[in-house]
Amino acid sequence: MNRNVKDTIVEGITGVSVLLIIFIIVSILAVTIVGGWPNLNWTFLSEFPKDGMTKGGIFPAIVGTAMMTIIMAVAAVPFGVITAIYLAEYASEKSVIAKTIRFAVKTLAVVPSIIFGLFGLGFFIGFIGKNMDGLLNGGELKWGQPNILWASFTMALLTLPVVIVSVEEAIRTIPREMREASLALGATKWQTIRRVVLPGSVSGILTGTILAVSRGAGEVAPILFTGAAYFLSDLPRSLSDQFMSLGYHIYIMSTQSSNVDATLPIQFATTLVLLLLTFSLNAVAVTLRYRIRKRAK
Amino acid sequence: MNDFKVKVKDLSLRYGTNSALKNISMDIPEKKVTAFIGPSGCGKSTFLRTLNRMNDLIDNVTIDGEVYIDNINIYDKNIDVVNLRKKVGMIFQKSNPFAKSVYDNIAFGPRINGISQKSRLDEIVEFSLKQAAIWDEVKDRLFNSALSLSGGQQQRICIARTLAVNPEIILMDEPASALDPISTGKIEELIHELKKQYTIIIVTHNMQQAARTSDFTAFFYMGDLVEMNRTEVIFSNPGKKQTEDYISGRFG
């Protein structure tokens, strides 16, 4: 075949691929916005579902998602930051422990989310929760069942790699001169980390947190067995309560509803809320990360 | 010569299998300025960094020999490196103030040593900045970021920061190599003032700087200490041909 013809074909294929991707993204956005925007109003955001979930709003799902992601962040961020400090500051690159942790973090990042859900069910509910009940409540069932705490912890495991990677990247952008300046003044390693390295890594820690929150807000599989509820007439009042979540709400509205067609506007509007939430969180994270990378140069 | 502050005996340093310093022995007098000169890669900076054990931070470094500061071997197993570094301050080639205010930069050292009383910190900050001859320039912007200052001012902030820890020895690793002539002049004046109280060891690429600022000069070449003597002797009547060639600009 003529080389020029080949060239044209390759250019054509790549061009079509790009167009296809743009088309998909635009259609998702267009369909969601067209279907969801008319139903998006204050009542929808502030009311409980009504009439067998065919009417009303998604207030408890918004609150549930927010609570779950906050608890998740409180669990995942400190743990992730500590791990990142170890990897960046203490572990030697060649040490077996560091290699093992890195391997574990990479593996954790590619484990399908449903596996996290099953793990949460088996570990948090079946093992920790059940034993807590045995020790604290004389066997009465309280922690050994799905609730917002176990769901948040399960989600924290899923988002941990995101936090670790972001924070480690930020820590590594702190120039060696800064560490040397601190050490040369007689600071210990920990004083250097606490007073120089961590303050300089704040934006990385923030990026990691926001990426984790935006990922956790949208995921459904990890909370499926560990705490998400079909419908609740009240907001969660304690860590041992179940909760409603936006992602799960979309799933049940489109598969379990008594009247799927009637709930279509609700589905669209819920999807739009979830998309807006995760998009804006991601936008903030990308901006922050851009600023870190600029500083690193 | 009365007292030697630092005595180095047979110090060798290797990066992996690569020998960077070979059996260096040297005595450094107290409250004088000692300059280390030599071409790039001759080991002078590496040697400087052995004096406050900064090379400990680098993987794969092996150090043999002894360094006595006030007759205590700093490579002894029982030495607390943190205390050593309080006593032996260091100024780096590239000024490296923290991304904090001028005040917080200077107060960093005292704070990590447990001083938290505001009046005491104020006192140390003012005293250190005055000692580093930069008080008048920054007294009205103590709470601005140190990074907003000029390069020369930043370097003097770093000097003030080191003085705030009350060291006895100050190591300077080409402290003026990134500065303009006026800032360099200020740093050199400062060195002249500081040697009344501190033992100063300075690495420099600049022959004139070594001649102007130092009392003693040591010439390094390829990891060896070629010779060390009073600065005027080194520059007027060096004992070794290599030294003469270097200071007269024939190589390096």
Q: Write the ipTM.
A: 0.92
Residue B154: its chain A contacts at CB < 8 A? Answer: none
Tens of pLDDT, residue by residue over B36-68, are: 999 988 999 999 999 999 998 888 899 999 999
Does B53 contact A at CB distance below 8 Å? no
Mean per-residue pLDDT, A211-238? 91
Cβ atoms within 10 Å, residue A137: 12
Q: Is the pLDDT higher at A257 or at A16?
A: A16
Residue A297, pLDDT score? 54
Tens of pLDDT, residue by residue over B176-235, are: 988 899 999 999 999 999 999 999 999 998 899 999 999 999 999 999 999 999 999 999
Residue of A nearest to B94 (CA): A177
Confidence of residue A240 (pLDDT cuts 50, 70, 90): very high
Residue A296, pLDDT score? 60
The DSSP symbol for B140 reads: G
Residue A292, pLDDT score? 74
Residue A262, pLDDT score? 82
The residue type found at A63 is: V
Chain-chain contact of A175 with B96 (C-beta, under 8 angstroms): yes
**In the block, residue with structure tokens 């003529």:** A2
User: How far, CA to CA in Å, does B65 sit from each of B7, B13, B45, B156, B249?
Assistant: 11, 9, 17, 34, 32
The answer to whether B210 and B204 are in contact (CB under 8 A) is: yes
* Cα gap A213→A165, rounded to integer Å: 15
Does B101 contact A at CB distance below 8 Å? no
Mean per-residue pLDDT, B227-250? 91
Chain-chain contact of B85 with A184 (C-beta, under 8 angstroms): yes
CA dihedral for B202, B203, B208, B214, sign (positive or negative): positive
* Cα gap B187→B194, rounded to integer Å: 10
H or E element at residue B227: strand B224-230
* Cα gap B50→B173, rounded to integer Å: 12
Chain-chain contact of B165 with A186 (C-beta, under 8 angstroms): yes
* Cα gap B227→B234, rounded to integer Å: 8
Residue A294 has pLDDT above 80, yes or no: no
Mean per-residue pLDDT, A147-169? 95
Architecture of domain A40-296: Orthogonal Bundle (1.10)
Chain-chain contact of A180 with B57 (C-beta, under 8 angstroms): yes
Q: Is the pLDDT higher at B16 or at B124?
A: B124
Confidence of residue B1 (pLDDT cuts 50, 70, 90): very low
Mutate to test the interface with A, among B82, B101, B147 (most CBs of A within 10 A): B82
* Cα gap A120→A146, rounded to integer Å: 9
The answer to whether B164 and B130 are in contact (CB under 8 A) is: no
| pLDDT above 70: percentage of residues in chain B | 98
Q: Which two tokens stand for residue B179?
A: 């500065």
DSSP for A33-85 reads HHHHGGG-SHHHHHS-EETTTTEE--HHHHHHHHHHHHHHHHHHHHHHHHHHH
Residue of A nearest to B83 (CA): A186
User: How much is the mean pLDDT over chain B?
Assistant: 93
